[in-house]
């Protein structure tokens, strides 16, 4: 069984960047390429970065993508709705259900609109990188493009389909699990939960 490595990198604006690595092939994906780019680049030494992906188009989560691409050669990818919303370009525009391969792993794209129109979560094995769709104990800060009702629907219809044991890695703050959040995140009070 291939081993998945996950390194969390603290970036500006309290953003969490993540580097996911297939231990046997040393192929990697960078999630949320914020600034400073050097912090992410340092952690990719000796790895082949295949993709540089963003959970959504807010600057704290994508500002470093082009510079990181120059340093690592990875393909940049964001959801098409946020490319339009924030006028950002990428090598690849993601859609719900896309799969990005790195080594022996596949990163699945789950479109979870709400925080931004093109917010996505990335799922690999038993791990979900959820951006600002859900945080430990809450959801990401509302911005003018946030549609909270849509965000709650995305959480209810998409995230809650994942196994409860799924580990969640948000764009800010500590990692958590779906089970923990269903039990204690105030957003689930009154939300339809699975029996």
List, for residues 24-80, the tens digit of each pLDDT value: 999 999 999 999 999 999 999 999 999 999 999 999 999 999 999 999 999 999 999
Residues 98-131: tens digit of each pLDDT? 999 999 999 999 999 999 999 999 999 999 999 9
Residues 146-190: tens digit of each pLDDT? 999 999 999 999 999 999 999 999 999 999 999 999 999 999 876
Look up the pTM and report it: 0.96
Sign of CA dihedral 93, 177, 115, 14: negative
Beta strands in the chain (DSSP E): 4-10, 16-22, 27-31, 48-53, 75-79, 92-94, 99-102, 105-111, 120-124, 127-131, 167-170, 176-177
In this prediction, residue 192 has a pLDDT band, given cuts at 50, 70 and 90, of: low
């Amino acid at each position: 069984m291939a081993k998945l490595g996950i390194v969390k990198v603290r970036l500006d604006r309290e953003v969490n960047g993540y580097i996911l690595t297939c231990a046997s092939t040393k192929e990697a994906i960078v999630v949320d390429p914020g600034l400073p780019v050097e912090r992410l680049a340092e952690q990719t030494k000796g790895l082949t970065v295949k993709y540089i992906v963003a959970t959504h188009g807010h600057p704290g989560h994508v500002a470093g993508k082009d510079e990181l691409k120059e340093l690592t050669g990875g393909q940049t990818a964001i959801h098409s709705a946020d490319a339009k919303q924030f006028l950002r370009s990428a090598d690849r525009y993601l859609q719900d259900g896309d799969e990005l391969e790195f080594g022996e792993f596949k990163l699945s794209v789950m479109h979870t609109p709400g925080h931004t129109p093109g917010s996505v979560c990335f799922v690999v094995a038993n791990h979900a990188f959820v951006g600002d769709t859900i945080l430990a104990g809450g959801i990401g800060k509302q911005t003018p493009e946030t549609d909270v009702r849509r965000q709650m629907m995305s959480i209810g219809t998409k995230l809650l389909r994942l196994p409860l044991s799924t580990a969640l890695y948000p764009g800010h703050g500590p990692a958590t699990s779906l089970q923990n959040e269903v039990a204690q995140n105030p957003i689930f009070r009154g939300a339809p939960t699975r029996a």
